[in-house]
Amino acid sequence: MVGELTESQLLRWIPLLPLMAAAVHGVLLGVVRRSLPRGLVIVLSCGAVLVSFLISFVVLIELTAMEGERVLIDNVYTWIGAGRFSAEVAFLLDPLSAAMSLMVTGVGLLIHIYSIGYMDEDHREDKGFQRFFCFMNLFMFAMLTLVLADNLLLMFLGWEGVGLCSYLLIGFWYADRFNAYCGSKAFIVNRIGDFGFLVGIFLLFWALADAGQAAIAFRDVEASLGAIVERTVTLPAWLQFLPGAPEWRLTTVIGICLFVGAVGKSAQIPLYVWLPDAMAGPTPVSALIHAATMVTAGVYMVCRMSFLYAEAPGASALIAWTGAITAIFAATIAIAQTDIKKVLAYSTVSQLGYMFLAAGVGAYSAAIFHLVTHAFFKALLFLGSGAVILAMHHEQNTDKMGGLRKYIPRTHLVFGIGVVAIAGLPYIASGFFSKDEILLSAYLAHHVPGYMALYAIGVLTAGITAFYMFRVHFRTFFGECRAPDEVRAHIHDPKNVVLVPLYVLAFLAIFGGYLGPSEAFVPIPDANSLGNFLLPALTQEAHHVAHSTEYALAGLATGIILVGILLAYLLYVRKPELPGRIASSLGGFSRAVANKYYVDEIYDAVIVRPLVAISDVVLYRGIDATVIDDIGANGSAKAVRSLASNVFKYLQSGLAQGYLFLMVVGTLAIIGYLTW
Amino acid sequence: MSLLFFYLFAAIAIAGALGMVLNTRNTVAAALSLVLTMVSLGGVYVLLEAYLIGALQILIYAGAIVVLFLFVVMLMNLRQEEFSPQRQRVTKIAGAVIGFLVLLQFLQLIHGAFGEPAAIIEGFGGYRQVGAVLFTDYVLAFEATSLLLLAAMVGAVILAKRKID
Amino acid sequence: MLVVVIIKLLFIFLVIVAAFLPILTWVERKQSAVMQDRIGANRADIFGIRILGLFHPIADVLKLFTKEDFVPQGANRVLHLLAPVIAMVPAIMGMAVIPYGGVYRFGDLELNLVVADVDWGMLYIFAVGSLATYGAVIAGWASNNNWSLLGAMRVSAQMISYEVTMGLAVVGIFVVYGTLRLPEMAAFQDQTFRLLGFVEVLGLVQTLPVWLDWIRLPMWGIFLQPLGFILFLTCIMAENKRPPFDAPEGESEIVSGYHLEYSGMRFGLFFTSELLEIPVIGMIVATLFLGGWAIPFLSQETIIGVVTPIFGEGFATGFCMILHVATFLLKVIFLIWLQVAIRWTLPRFRYDQIMDLCWKMILPLSIVNVLVTGAVVLFIGGLQ
Amino acid sequence: MVPIEHAIALSGILFAIGTVGAITRRNLIVVLMSIELMLNAVNVALVAFSRLWGNLDGQIFVLMVIVVAAAEVTVGLGIVISLFRNRESVNIEDVSLLKW
């Protein structure tokens, strides 16, 4: 059904090149068991990513050059064909995926380059360097497949692929058991989400096929969605308390199922717990996978399915509220963290919350906009923190830092830029425009229950964000240095291969916002180019609002942000002893915050332990060991053996003619039975 | 005419077979009566328009296989089968019964099962046509049999060698 | 038609069996004598007339008939009596499919000078030849004598082995002729080919100059398949268990092998069958390799075409027929001479030598021959 | 014109005789010969069928059967020889060691 669209054989190479590079690495490491020289590894991996970056640039230009409907398609081959159901391996390039792929490849390229410097030191010996790049390329492949996928199944393939790669890369330093543990934690938590995602996919396909038009590709689904919009499902008795019970629209159910997947992948409440632990991986990994690209897959998916969510107000509201709550929740946790990467992790969670808030209130373009800017400055922040960590010889605790601006001025500069960007100061920060757009659309989202509350939470979170980000920055770079002397002796700015990507990202972090500012702030026609570019790919109604309102909202937000910054300045530069006293005065609450509200512990007690217990006692000892092994396998074997050794062995008389005799008799019997 | 020949050959074949099976004293004589069967079967094939098969039947069975039997018999120079008389009657009876049953079932199976033979083209069963079929449709089977023969050769050599060196 | 068949049969029996056979013994003696610089048997006389000892065959026959023929004790009587006959039959049967002349038409009567013009003639010959084993084997086993038994075993092994190689040796000629039918083969050889034709085939030149076309050879098997000729001759001579391939009856090792226990005319039958196979072999080889009845450079239509204007067509055809038969017999006689010469030239091979010759020399060579022939024929795309 | 039914009947008779021989006779060589006989019976049937349908596949099968028979005889006789060499007997009841 997608036949009549413009074909472009180029698309397939965007994901394919990284895959090829990964395959080469994999074969060399896994089969040949020899690692390439460092230079070749770099050329291969970074080259692959670079080329696919260029390709995505080219196709973007091709896309913008098209008039009318801007869609490119690349049918590679039929992946699964069964009757009316046929899933193509096809890649789709519309404004949405174009922006995403460009962002992914671009940031990915920068981080690849950065990794050359970052991964250089540790374990050249056990081929770790090449292994790292193998995984990275594999991740690029999976992520690009996810982004460019033409149908939900292929997207799910990429979805799983990125999950796998994140697992591999979190546990990259597998020698340390804790890292391996974190990897598996991330993987398992993701699985929970993926389950919901899969259910959603099947539900959607089933419903469509049931409505008589089996469609897989997004466009076909969108076209034939009308067939199931009116359909409703009856909730089971134990769910009657839910709003809108007893009858829910099927689209809502599907939307919620899919969103469960997004929650898992994008670390929203309640499945966010894996992301902070994912920081166990190398910092470039945290930057690429757990800040810039993979964790935003959920947001991307929601925007990709915007036509569905437009039909599912319940699901949208759920998304919005989940996002908002996650945002503020994670932000509060971030206040009390001392580990620099942990802070960034929680801020990532919170920013993702922002994106979901936007997507929930139907401002998908705003979500994507924030996704892009966030990718820029969060990658910058992570890489900056990575530079700091390198300088501090793998010390991540900000308690041991401080006053580093004297030692590593360049890092201090770029990190500061990132902080400003995420805090969202007007005009000098990309965060400002995107965040402001989100807040605006939340303020205007009258169709979402309690939208004012959402708006309030958003503004408040903005303030908190500014506060803790500056807190980290001050604690790291200002005050007097708390590092031990022998460490302090060697603190220096990292090599250029590390710094250059930082500069580029810093530039993007400042000016990335001008991709799509609202006309209110940049009074030129079609200022919001990104938004207008994305709009045809999304299902959202543009909102028109007086500029005065926008100024007011922006002013309010900026004011709160400034308050947060000021607070941080007071507490951590003027009076560094104050925070301790405040914490002690707050007592239990502060402890709870410091311990992330004990969420991990609660999960452990409520879910993990019972699950383990049940699996061990019932499933393993009871079913597997007893029923299957003893009764099933061994039992049948024993039965056969005893029967054979007591009865049938006497047929084995050793006389060939006896066998022949029996054979003939048997044949006669069979033929006789068949004929007479 | 051909019908007459057919019954003649059939009679010889059956007689030879019986002679082979019933002659318990003399293995060589048994083998020779088997030769009779083979040769007359060759005649039967020719009467059934399978000329190549007929020639090959005589060439291979009568000319090679049975000679091989004779060769082995002579090699071991068995004149009499020394039998232990017990169980002999039982087996004989059982065998006779089984044979009779097989025959009975077979005959009742084929009784009136076939109509008139189909019309055949010129040169049916000649080496040209059979060869054509053999080397086009059945070439794979043909190659497979060559492998089989190789395996049989090796096996025979290994088995019959006094000591493998 | 029946008359024709009977005439053919009579021809076979009278000419080949009745005429050749007695003379063959004499030929053999005389030739050996010549080769060994002796006079040879010349004493038998009737009323003092002794024409080069031509009466010796008669004497031999009389002797054989009058000798006592006995069956040794403990022998299997029936088989012992049967064996010589079985030995004799295939030799005669083989002649049924051999053409001793082409196809001639007198008005409406068409004369095809072969007893049984069957499509699968060569297969028939092989089949019959494979039965020739039995006479010797049965004889050796039936006469209850260890020497005979050894002889029989040697016969069986030797003949089975050589059947295989014989079959392979002629595959090449089958490929060239594209038929198994002996009259066709003979007719095929009744033409000539340009000796330098391969130059054109190789594409070295477009067409040869005309005067080179006159360098021609009769298209005989021996020229098309020289290697095949040698191999086939060897094999078929080994099939007929005469020296140098007479290990089965090697007097010096196993006292004349399988017919040790035979005497009188039944020994005579064995002896005769061997002798009789000499002309049969001659016929087969002549038909396969020496152009059968074909006269080199004078094809049938040429002869008829030349003679007809003078004496009329009927006479021409008859003349041509007679010429052809004569040529055929001439070739056969030549081959008989060749065989006898070989027989008196070479000493008896050892048994293992015979087997090695078969399996280690002839078999690989004939396989190579088949491969090369097939390749060439494929290359040329079938001779014109 | 040979009636197909009779040809098949011939093959049936031969097969039965072969079966009897293979079951009752105790001389290994004779048993092998009986098996050969059974194979030949099958061949007769195949040829008869190929004549019946005017289709050459049956004759191809016969060729295959002949080849298989040849291989079987070679190996079988090889076994018989080595057996005779080791136990001075070809009585099939003397080789019943492979039992419970």
**In the block, which residue shows the tokens 């080595």?**
D82
Q: What residues of B are in contact with residue D80 (Cβ under 8 Å)?
A: 72
Nearest to B114 among D52, D63, D93 (CB): D52
Residue in A643, A657, A668, A671 to test binding to D, most D beta-carbons within 10 Å:
A657
Residue of C nearest to B51 (CA): C120
What is the reported pTM? 0.59
Domain's final residue, options C40, C66, C92: C66
Backbone angles phi, psi at A73, to 5 degrees: -135, 150
Cβ–Cβ < 8 Å for A119, A282: yes
Enumerate chain A positions whose Cβ falls within 8 A of a Cβ in D.
649-650, 652-657, 660-661, 664
Chain C neighbors (3+ CB pairs < 8 Å): B
DSSP helix/strand/coil, A87: strand
Q: Flag whether pLDDT at C153 surpasses 90.
A: no
The mean per-residue pLDDT over the stretch A454-481 comes to 89
Number of domains in chain C: 2
Domain, as residue range, for C53:
1-66
Percent helix / strand / coil, chain D, rounded to 5: 80, 0, 15
- What is the rounded CA–CA span in Å between residue A505 and residue A521? 23
Lowest mean pLDDT among A416-425, B72-81, B140-149, D22-31: B72-81
Cβ–Cβ < 8 Å for C136, C155: yes
Cβ–Cβ < 8 Å for B114, D52: yes
Distances (CA, A) of A451 to A114, A140, A314, A362, A620: 41, 37, 14, 12, 49
DSSP helix/strand/coil, A492: coil
Q: Are residues C246 and C307 in the same domain?
A: yes
Predicted ipTM of the assembly: 0.77
Cβ contacts of A427 within 8 Å, gap of 6 or more: A521
Q: Does D96 touch chain B (CB under 8 A)?
A: no
Cβ contacts of C326 within 8 Å, gap of 6 or more: none
Convert the pLDDT of each residue in C281-309 to its tens digit. Answer: 888 898 888 888 888 888 888 888 888 88
pLDDT of residue B86: 53
Contact B98 A665 (CB under 8 A): yes
Cβ contacts of C103 within 8 Å, gap of 6 or more: C110, C111, C112, C113, C183, C187
Contact C127 B75 (CB under 8 A): no
The mean per-residue pLDDT over the stretch C359-368 comes to 90
What spatial distance separates the first Cα and last Cα of chain C, rounded to whole Å?
35
**In the block, which residue shows the tokens 């028939």?**
C124
Single-letter residue type at B3? L
Single-letter residue type at C100? Y
- Going by pLDDT thresholds of 50, 70 and 90, the confidence category of residue A1 is very low
Q: Which parts of A245-397 are beta strand (E)? A: 247-249
Cβ contacts of A648 within 8 Å, gap of 6 or more: none
User: Which tokens is A191 given?
Assistant: 């699985």
Cβ–Cβ < 8 Å for B16, B35: yes
Q: What residues of B are in contact with residue D64 (Cβ under 8 Å)?
A: 141, 145
- What is the rounded CA–CA span in Å between residue A264 and residue A262? 5
Contact B47 D2 (CB under 8 A): yes
Residue of A nearest to D26 (CA): A657
Distances (CA, A) of C279 to C132, C284, C333, C346: 16, 9, 8, 20
- Going by pLDDT thresholds of 50, 70 and 90, the confidence category of residue B78 is low
- What is the rounded CA–CA span in Å between residue D18 and residue B3? 25
Residue of B nearest to A665 (CA): B98
User: Which tokens is B11 given?
Assistant: 């009679």
Is the domain B1-81 a CATH 1.20.1050.40 member? no
Q: How distant is the Cα of A3 from the closest Cα of chain B, in angstroms?
A: 42
Q: Are residues C82 and C14 in the same domain?
A: no
Shortest CA distance to C152 belongs to which of C127, C135, C128, C130?
C135
Q: Are residues C78 and C137 in the same domain?
A: yes
DSSP for A260-303, written as a single string: HHHHHHTT-TTSTTHHHHHTTS-HHHHHIIIIISGGGHHHHHHH
Residue in C93, C119, C143, C165 to test binding to B, most B beta-carbons within 10 Å:
C119
Shortest CA distance to C239 belongs to which of C338, C91, C18?
C91
pLDDT of residue C7: 81
- Give the start-to-end residue ranges of the domains of chain A: 6-594, 598-675
- What is the rounded CA–CA span in Å between residue A217 and residue A152? 7
Percent helix / strand / coil, chain B, rounded to 5: 75, 0, 25
List residues bridging with A8 in a β-sheet. Answer: none
Q: How distant is the Cα of B66 from the closest Cα of chain C, in angstroms?
A: 10
Q: Are residues C75 and C218 in the same domain?
A: yes
- What is the rounded CA–CA span in Å between residue C152 and residue B164? 28
Q: Flag whether pLDDT at C384 surpasses 60.
A: no
Contact A657 D92 (CB under 8 A): yes
Q: Are residues C51 and C129 in the same domain?
A: no
Shortest CA distance to C4 belongs to which of C112, C99, C103?
C112
Mean pLDDT estimate for chain D: 87
DSSP for C51-68, written as a single string: STTTTHHHHHHHHHHHS-
Cβ contacts of B146 within 8 Å, gap of 6 or more: none
Domains, chain D, with CATH or none: 4-88 (1.10.287.3510)
Convert the pLDDT of each residue in A60-94 to its tens digit. Answer: 888 888 877 888 888 888 888 877 778 888 999 98
The mean per-residue pLDDT over the stretch A194-200 comes to 92
Distances (CA, A) of D1 to C31, C333, D8: 53, 43, 14
Q: What residues of D are in contact with residue B99 (Cβ under 8 Å)?
A: 16-17, 19-20, 23
Interface of D with B in 11-70 (CB under 8 A): 12-21, 23-27, 29-30, 32-34, 36-37, 40, 43-44, 47-48, 50-57, 59-60, 62-64, 66-70
pLDDT of residue C28: 84
Q: Are residues C17 and C156 in the same domain?
A: no
pLDDT of residue B87: 57
Convert the pLDDT of each residue in C112-122 to its tens digit. Answer: 778 778 888 88
- What is the rounded CA–CA span in Å between residue A324 and residue A569? 26
Q: Are residues C83 and C31 in the same domain?
A: no
Contacts 24+ apart (CB under 8 A), C330-335: C331/C282, C331/C286, C331/C290, C331/C291, C331/C292, C332/C279, C332/C282, C332/C283, C332/C286, C333/C282, C334/C282, C335/C281, C335/C282, C335/C285, C335/C286, C335/C290
List residues bridging with C49 in a β-sheet. Answer: C46
Convert the pLDDT of each residue in D62-75 to its tens digit. Answer: 999 999 998 999 89
Q: Flag whether pLDDT at D46 surpasses 50.
A: yes
Convert the pLDDT of each residue in A234-274 to its tens digit. Answer: 888 777 777 776 788 888 889 999 999 999 999 898 888 89
Residue in B1, B26, B28 to test binding to C, most C beta-carbons within 10 Å:
B28
Cβ–Cβ < 8 Å for A146, A165: no
